[in-house]
Amino acid sequence: MQKWRLMSLLLATAVVVPALARAESDYDFVVNAMPATILLDASGDKFSVEDSNGRVSLSELYTMPNIAAGVGTMWRDIYVDVVGGGGVLINDGFRSFMLQGIVEAAWQATDAFTIGPRLGVVYFPDPEWLDSDSVEFDSNAGLLAGLQMALGDKIKYLVSVDIMDVSFDISDAQEGVKTSDDSLNMTALAIQFGVRGEF
């Protein structure tokens, strides 16, 4: 599954980069800042850990503030950009830093409003259980796909609605510790609010 997600990003990059190279207009420096990001785990899998201190279950609500930067340009009637960045995924008992690579395309619906799809890979290098050191997780990559809307000129209000799919396998658990599953599986609806700059 992880190889398939990475191949998806490579394929998207292979399509977008030649398009950018043929673009007639100049490149812009693009920044997406998403401080208000809410994820609702729609999988119904409420992961839990039980040890001598009791049982701790994760809520279905996560936050994931993040920022990304890259390049973009007009290609025909579509604004195409490629961005990369990072952030942090947070739940009451779980946390992981996050790296992302996203390809976005936006159609200019009006002079001030754009809308279009986005697709990318998110990588979580250091997931950790916050309640104790009784459980450790492997790093893993996930797939993110959704729709992005922006309102404004060079500085825009930005909203995206995405589906993010990722699984964190348990690499180690202390003796006597019980987990509800062998992995923490997330299929989450992500609603992200922020600002976008094109310079």
166's torsion region: left (phi>0), alpha (psi -120 to 50) or beta?
beta
- pLDDT tens, residue by residue, 172-199: 998 889 999 999 999 999 999 999 999 8
> Domains in the chain, ordered, with CATH?
2-198 (2.40.160.20)
User: Which residues contact residue 111 at a Cβ distance below 8 angstroms, ignoring those fewer than 6 apart?
Assistant: none
- pLDDT tens, residue by residue, 88-111: 999 988 999 999 999 999 999 998
Say how far apart CA 45 and CA 188 lie, in whole Å: 11
The pTM is what? Answer: 0.84
* CB count in 10 Å sphere of residue 119: 19
**141 token code pair:** 């990559």
- pLDDT tens, residue by residue, 9-68: 545 554 555 455 444 458 899 999 999 999 999 876 689 999 887 888 899 999 999 999
